[in-house]
A and B are shown apart, each in its own frame.
Chain A
Amino acid sequence: MSQWEYAPAPESAEIANLKQRYRPFIGGEFVDGSGEPIRTVNPATGEVLAEVGTASESDVDNAVRSARRAYERTWRKLPGAERAKYVFRIARLIQERARELAVLETLDNGKPISQSRDADVPGAAAHFFYHAGWADKLEYAGLGPDPRPLGVAGQVIPWNFPLLMLAWKVAPALATGNTVVLKPAETTPLSALVFAEICLQAELPDGVVNIVPGGDDVGAAVVAHPDVGKVAFTGSTEVGKRIQRSLAGTGKRLTLELGGKAANVVFDDAPLDQAVEGIVNGIFYNQGHVCCAGSRLLVQESIAEELLDRLRARIETLRLGDPLDKNTDIGAINSAEQLARINELVAAGEAEGARRWSSPCPLPERGFFFPPTVFSEVEQSMRIAREEIFGPVLSVLTFRTPTEAVAKANNTRYGLSAGIWTEKGSRILWLAQRMRAGVVWANTFNRFDPAAPFGGYRESGFGREGGRIGLEAYLHV
């Protein structure tokens, strides 16, 4: 059968207005950081995008001092209604520069432009809009009669959603009257530094937001700084544990949003085509670089074969390649290091006896890519069923009864998200109640909204982001 070919539909990289050099943002200005500069690369090509100055420990100290000064002198004294207007301004500026930010994000991260354009950037704007409205209404949040900010928030965010995670952290912090020192991920610092420009355009008072690029050492310095009153971290469980341990006894407030190994449970009465779309979205969205990705498919035994056939057929239609092409479904793996980790775990899956199937899609000759992959005949004890892979790799297990589905779904140290696919409403509610996960998507997957709290159970971390409940992380109540 002849197929329609897709014509290339590339977005122009020029729109990102890439500069050769980016610098840390401290005290309301871009400064030369005294850390070793890093080069950030386009994971789709391996080409260097820009040189980025990083912060040293003394730069972090300056950033925290600036944030503290801004907190004491201006930000916390500002009436909530005025604070709100600054946050609203930021939301609007993100919308105005949406196209530039989307292209920049795709260049730096490797995610498809369709996703940065339709999810990351509008999502970031939505978070600022949502939280801006809270700034003068905190006493109505139901957290207590006199909610007060915590001071300087030290925030460390990951590389999978660089701008969106920044928004999740910065928007509630500012709205609740805190000031911010944020460390973007080492491999994806660019959109955070353009966000710093946005803070300048919004005329945000100096020092309210500080951005300190760098590696783990910079993150550790932010977290450890004695003048930081609140730490928010999104990233790996391993690092989260280290942070929690290091903060023991310091009195600092902490929220952690860590890894996951979500179960996506499909019953025999599920609408199969929709379930297939949900499974694909759940594990292959953003190359599987999603902490709440549906990486364990639990399918009822009676339909396993049929579902897997349909799933493979659908996956074969996914287009992998140039992230800047608007028709691309799966972009680049963010770094060589991450690609190596995926390869290691996939090899472990094969060695432990699971059956591997990978999409026959062609891989680009350069850049970091990994084909969408499905492991069947997976057992619960296998590494691919237990460890977070953080890549486009799905492990398929089967179950017979709803009770068995619950037991298998909960057989993990994580508890961030879960999926349920069935036409039976009572079963959805029954299962949703029993799944030990902070977010449960029924007959859908990967839905986010600033009004809906998000966060994990167990080793997926503690604290929630979003909604009225999420404000608590930034307030003395």
Chain B
Amino acid sequence: MSDRVSVAKTYKLYIGGAFPRSESGRTYPVTDTKGRFLANASHASRKDLRDAVAAARAAFPSWSGATAYNRGQVLYRVAELLEGRREQFATEVADAEGVSARKAEAIVDATVDRWVWYAGWTDKVAAVLGAANPVAGPYFSFTVPEPTGVAGVVAPQDSSLLGLVSVLAPVLATGCTAVVVSSAERPLPAVTLSEVLATSDVPGGVVNVLTGKAGELGPWLASHADVDAIDPTGAGPLGQVEIAREAAATVKRVLAVTEDEPDWTARPALTRLRHYLEAKTVWHPMGP
């Protein structure tokens, strides 16, 4: 056994492409499923959340304005880097979720594949979910899907990586930007994922990751007037209801979710992609 003392990492938030500590100065201990201390995670505050929303809003015009081809390339690049950190993620997932090393590797593989699947959607949603409308009159009318805006995502509590990617990747594929509240008990894979995002080609602010308590941050995310859509998956039954209520103040889009976490290994439906898209119908007269 080596005498070397390993260098422990300080896990921080990810806001606007930077890794700040919480402005509140709060942290909370994260343990593995056996209770062994892993790290002190930042306990994000309402102010951190507002900063994250502002960063996501600032990043929205360029991310949504990028070509679908470009977004697909950028997202595929993330998958490449995920693959490169396969072992680190497997260790973190095993610690976070208390699964065997083999199971953890399988989860990471599924995560990478999930990311690739969504990366391939960027340049297809318009064709699959849009339409040329055969209206009765001398008009050209077409409907294009467009990103809704800033998405608030309360990530699943149990599935620390595959679940997280399953709820985050569709947001990015549509061209929306995201503010993610990670699993409270299992936040470390989320922080490492933000490191991957920071070193990939995803522009700063497109994804913002807050570690902290869904119950504390969820309602503020839901009532924030500059958040356009919300996914309350990880908020728990009561939190989901509270989020849905708060969201009504701004007629926010709230994803319909089940109380329990779905089976993240199942092939996704288009539901999550559709949730972050608005259908815009454009008309123009036709004539000689």
Of residues 225 through 275 on chain A, the ones whose CB sits less than 8 Å from some CB of chain B are 237, 240-242, 244-245, 247-249, 251, 253, 256, 258
Question: Once bound together, how far apart are the Cα atoms of A87 and B170, in whole Å?
Answer: 37
Partner among B129, B137, B245, B278 whose Cβ is within 8 Å of the Cβ of A248: B245
Q: Does B256 contact A (CB under 8 A)?
A: yes
Which residues in B have their C-beta under 8 angstroms from that of A126?
136
A241–B244 touching, CB < 8 Å? no
A453–B245 touching, CB < 8 Å? no
Answer whether A452 and B143 are a contact pair too, CB < 8 Å, given A256-B251, A447-B135, A468-B131.
Answer: yes
B241–A469 touching, CB < 8 Å? no
Partner among B269, B270, B278, B285 whose Cβ is within 8 Å of the Cβ of A457: B278
Question: Once bound together, how far apart are the Cα atoms of A167 and B279, in whole Å?
Answer: 21
Which residue from chain B places its CB closest to the CB of A429 in the assembled complex? B282
Which residues in A have their C-beta under 8 angstroms from that of B241?
248-249
Answer whether A144 and B244 are a contact pair too, CB < 8 Å, given A437-B280, A454-B281, A469-B131.
Answer: no
Q: For the complex formed, measure the closest distance between the CB of A173 and the CB atoms of chain B, giving whole angstroms.
A: 19
Which residues in A have their C-beta under 8 angstroms from that of B274?
472
Answer whether A449 and B133 are a contact pair too, CB < 8 Å, given A144-B269, A244-B251.
Answer: yes
A248–B141 touching, CB < 8 Å? no
Q: Given contacts A242-B248, A444-B285, A459-B251, list 14 more A-B pairs with CB under 8 A.
A: A126-B136, A240-B251, A241-B251, A253-B256, A449-B135, A449-B141, A451-B136, A453-B279, A455-B279, A458-B251, A462-B253, A467-B143, A469-B279, A477-B269
A447–B248 touching, CB < 8 Å? no
Answer whether A458 and B135 are a contact pair too, CB < 8 Å, given A244-B247, A452-B281.
Answer: no
Which residues in B have their C-beta under 8 angstroms from that of A242?
248
A442–B284 touching, CB < 8 Å? yes
Of residues 282 through 317 on chain A, the ones whose CB sits less than 8 Å from some CB of chain B are none
Q: Does A391 contact B (CB under 8 A)?
A: no
B280–A440 touching, CB < 8 Å? yes
Answer whether A447 and B131 are a contact pair too, CB < 8 Å, given A241-B248, A457-B278, A462-B251.
Answer: no
Of residues 252 through 288 on chain B, the ones whose CB sits less than 8 Å from some CB of chain A are 253, 256, 269-271, 274, 278-285
A453–B281 touching, CB < 8 Å? yes
Q: For the complex formed, measure the closest distance between the CB of B187 and the CB atoms of chain A, giving whole angstroms.
A: 26
Q: For the complex formed, measure the closest distance between the CB of B272 and the CB atoms of chain A, giving whole angstroms.
A: 13
Which residues in A have their C-beta under 8 angstroms from that of B283?
439-442, 444, 447, 452
Q: For the complex formed, measure the closest distance between the CB of A306 and the CB atoms of chain B, giving whole angstroms.
A: 23
Q: For the complex formed, measure the closest distance between the CB of A392 and the CB atoms of chain B, giving whole angstroms.
A: 23
Partner among A453, A459, A462, A472 whose Cβ is within 8 Å of the Cβ of B131: A453
Q: Does A464 contact B (CB under 8 A)?
A: yes
Number of interface residues of B (CB under 8 A): 38
Which residues in A have their C-beta under 8 angstroms from that of B245?
245, 248-249
Of residues 420 through 458 on chain A, the ones whose CB sits less than 8 Å from some CB of chain B are 428, 432-433, 437-444, 447, 449, 451-455, 457-458
Q: Does B5 contact A (CB under 8 A)?
A: no
When A and B form their complex, which 10 residue pairs have the shortest distance between CB atoms, in order from nearest?
A: A249-B241, A248-B244, A449-B135, A245-B248, A244-B248, A452-B133, A248-B245, A459-B251, A442-B284, A440-B282
Q: Does B139 contact A (CB under 8 A)?
A: yes
Which residue from chain A places its CB closest to the CB of B243 in the assembled complex? A248
A467–B133 touching, CB < 8 Å? yes
Place the interface of chain A in its size category.
35 or more
Which residues in B have their C-beta under 8 angstroms from that of A467?
131, 133, 143, 281
B253–A469 touching, CB < 8 Å? no
Which residues in B have their C-beta under 8 angstroms from that of A240?
251
Q: Does B33 contact A (CB under 8 A)?
A: no
Answer whether A439 and B281 are a contact pair too, CB < 8 Å, given A240-B251, A245-B245, A451-B134.
Answer: yes
Q: For the complex formed, measure the closest distance between the CB of A87 and the CB atoms of chain B, giving whole angstroms.
A: 18
Which residues in B have their C-beta under 8 angstroms from that of A237?
251
Partner among A258, A438, A440, A443 whose Cβ is within 8 Å of the Cβ of B251: A258
Which residues in A have their C-beta under 8 angstroms from that of B139?
444, 447
Q: Does A142 contact B (CB under 8 A)?
A: yes
A432–B279 touching, CB < 8 Å? no
Question: Once bound together, how far apart are the Cα atoms of A143 and B241, in whole Å?
Answer: 27
Interface centre among B139, B242, B256, B283, by most chain A C-beta atoms within 10 angstroms, is B283
Question: Once bound together, how far apart are the Cα atoms of A242 and B278, in whole Å?
Answer: 22
Q: Does A461 contact B (CB under 8 A)?
A: yes
Which residues in A have their C-beta under 8 angstroms from that of B271?
477
Question: Once bound together, how far apart are the Cα atoms of A453 and B139, in whole Å?
Answer: 14
Q: For the complex formed, measure the closest distance between the CB of A260 and the CB atoms of chain B, giving whole angstroms.
A: 12
Question: Once bound together, how far apart are the Cα atoms of A446 and B143, in whole Å?
Answer: 16
Which residues in B have their C-beta under 8 angstroms from that of A453?
131, 133, 143, 279, 281
Which residue from chain B places its CB closest to the CB of A448 in the assembled complex? B135
Which residues in A have their C-beta under 8 angstroms from that of B270?
144
> CB-CB contacts of B134-156 with A at 8 A, as 1s and 0s?
11110101010010100000000
Question: Once bound together, how far apart are the Cα atoms of A39 and B216, in whole Å?
Answer: 50
Which residue from chain A places its CB closest to the CB of B287 in the assembled complex? A443
Which residues in B have their C-beta under 8 angstroms from that of A468?
131
Which residue from chain B places its CB closest to the CB of A126 in the assembled complex? B136
Q: Does B249 contact A (CB under 8 A)?
A: yes
